[in-house]
Structure 1
């Protein structure tokens, strides 16, 4: 019955911490992330990571990205595809060089250093999405550029990871053309399904004489797209985001959004925020504080500058470029998955795993105040 106590603690303290964060002039999500650290093994130990928390948090991040897709202006996304591509590429080249160089500086071999570069390339905008939503910036030109860049970044990083593991001999028989084919199949599949199947599914299920048929149909689409993405070795959040965009093109957008948000924000999304902090452990970090400080600073700066340069080269002014770069800083669950993959494949030394996890957490914590501050500066100009 411990899971009930965990839910009570998570739901109560995330709301209290979110309110406190807003009173201090910060986005509510920052307080919710910090609560995860306080409640978790690193400080109080009141909530422990486990299958129950993992599964609820996975649903939470899928719903968060589904809602982001619902609220995305597809026309704006189309207009900014060049900027999104430039931001994604800039947000990979510079972080890869920074991660690779920092690992070499601490005496790691070439193979370990190359994998560090991959970890630095990861981006997870689930936190940025929440902050942009709180600031009513999700549908702005900057917001849609960040979302588009994150999708492209995810594809490029997965391809880069597969190539790296193949070259270093740890990925077995990885076929790069097959991997690229899977990505192409995913995008083709969601476009066809979004254009033809989704409207028909919604139209067929909506009139059913059962409770909440419309929102149930939307969730079926969301989780189906997410499963399809995972099956083709894409991140599930990209599938959920695509599902949101598909639903938004139907006449059921407002009804779905109105019903899904209470489901997401009342239970699943708070668990997701807290689960990030539960990964924190300070064991043995005293001997690696210099390494941790270096990789954290480099991780933040390279994404901020790399993504910012991409935005600047495609017509954004300096403040908007920095805002877009800051939206790409969070490594989130994507980097944690890559780090765990590297640990299992022998490309990440166990003694550095805790430092990498802490770097991921710090970049995630740094994103909300960064976005808030730069958004405020942009509005003043």
Structure 2
């Protein structure tokens, strides 16, 4: 029963950390992330990245993105699909190019450098979602583009990563890997087709049927089944689980049950699972590897932040957003979070990333994740007085 004590410690620590962050006018998520660093291997080593923490964190990020989907404005998502694509594409090209050059400077091989670029091209907006919720900006045009671009970014990252692994020397001894990549891409296209059908016709019918079930909170129960089911299917076809959760939220958000489900799901997520997710990110940081490879860690952190900020921001500016909005969108795309951590782990397994440099890369990923809430909070606070005057 040791896991119960671990969960109790995480919940107490994240409550205190979130409270102190809010007292200092910082996003509560910063305190929760720092709890992971403080209690994890980097400092006190009271909590390790166990299966229990991993599973709770997975559920946490799924619920978080489900809530983001519920609170998204579908009409805005449709309206801003073109800007979202520009933001996602340039928000990938800049990090790939800049971190590739950083890798070459630190004597990575060409393949390792390219993989490093792909790692830092990935975006995880789960952290940004929390800050945008806190600042009442999640359903703004900037928040909508950040969410839309994150979905496009996720798809592109999976495609590029699949190609890179398939064409790496240790993976293509025959044509079977190329064939499996094509099958995987076809499955992913089919998944999005299925999402459209389910969201348009099936899910609204299921939600109406849930009212007739003679069990407590039946609508909430069925919405969770839909969320977890679509997340699982996304994972099976090689996509991120958060894509399924996000689109499940969007589909249910178009029904009459949106407010009731949002009201029921938020306590479940924010009381237990989401704090564990934030702590799990901090648990990945170790100081030994960072100190050994400090300059790689430092330059990758700066390059990771600036490349996404400039690339995604330029994508927004090209489609006629103001500089303030473009910077806000770029800031929302800075966080790499769990997506980059997963890709880095795949890189080690596929021998595309040296284990000697792993800690420095992980440290830089976490630094970009820490930076995103500060950038977002600062830019939103700066714009607020202007909005209040209108």
What do the CA deviations read for 1:200-230 (whole angstroms, capped 9, x no partner)?
2111222211111110000000001101111
Q: Given the alignment, which residue of 254, 262, 265 partners 1:257?
A: 262
Is the Cα contact below 8 Å between 1:26 and 1:372 reproduced in 2? yes
Q: CA deviation at 1:182?
A: 2.1
* Residues 13-52 of structure 1 aligned to structure 2 (within 5 Å): 13-52=13-52
Deviates more, 1:160-169 or 1:184-193: 160-169
What do the CA deviations read for 1:18-50 (whole angstroms, capped 9, x no partner)?
111111111111111111111112111121210
Alignment partner of 1:112 is 2:118:
no
Q: CA deviation at 1:320?
A: 0.7
Q: CA deviation at 1:58?
A: 0.4
Alignment partner of 1:174 is 2:160:
no
Distance 1:99 1:28 in 2: 30
Q: CA deviation at 1:275?
A: 0.7
- SS across alignment from 1:174: helix
Distance 2:290 2:152 in 1: 34
4+ long deviations beyond 6 Å: none
Alignment partner of 1:280 is 2:293:
no
Could you tell me which residue of structure 1 aligns to residue 4 of structure 2? Answer: 4
- SS across alignment from 2:232: helix
Distance 1:291 1:263 in 2: 40
* Residues 51-200 of structure 1 aligned to structure 2 (within 5 Å): 51-172=51-172, 173-175=177-179, 176-200=181-205
Q: CA deviation at 1:107?
A: 1.1
Gap runs ≥5 in structure 1: none
Q: CA deviation at 1:178?
A: 2.6
Distance 1:267 1:321 in 2: 34
Is the Cα contact below 8 Å between 1:162 and 1:171 reproduced in 2? no
Superposed CA RMSD? 1.1
Q: CA deviation at 1:169?
A: 3.1
Residues paired across the two proteins, number: 381
- SS across alignment from 1:283: helix
Gap runs ≥5 in structure 2: none
Could you tell me which residue of structure 2 aligns to residue 335 of structure 1? Answer: 340
Distance 1:322 1:64 in 2: 24
What do the CA deviations read for 1:143-170 (whole angstroms, capped 9, x no partner)?
0000000000000011011111222234
Distance 1:265 1:379 in 2: 26
Q: CA deviation at 1:174?
A: 3.0
| TM-score for the superposition, normalised by structure 1 | 0.98
Is the Cα contact below 8 Å between 2:290 and 2:363 reproduced in 1? no
What do the CA deviations read for 1:78-127 (whole angstroms, capped 9, x no partner)?
11111100000110110000110000001111111111111110100000
Distance 1:262 1:12 in 2: 16
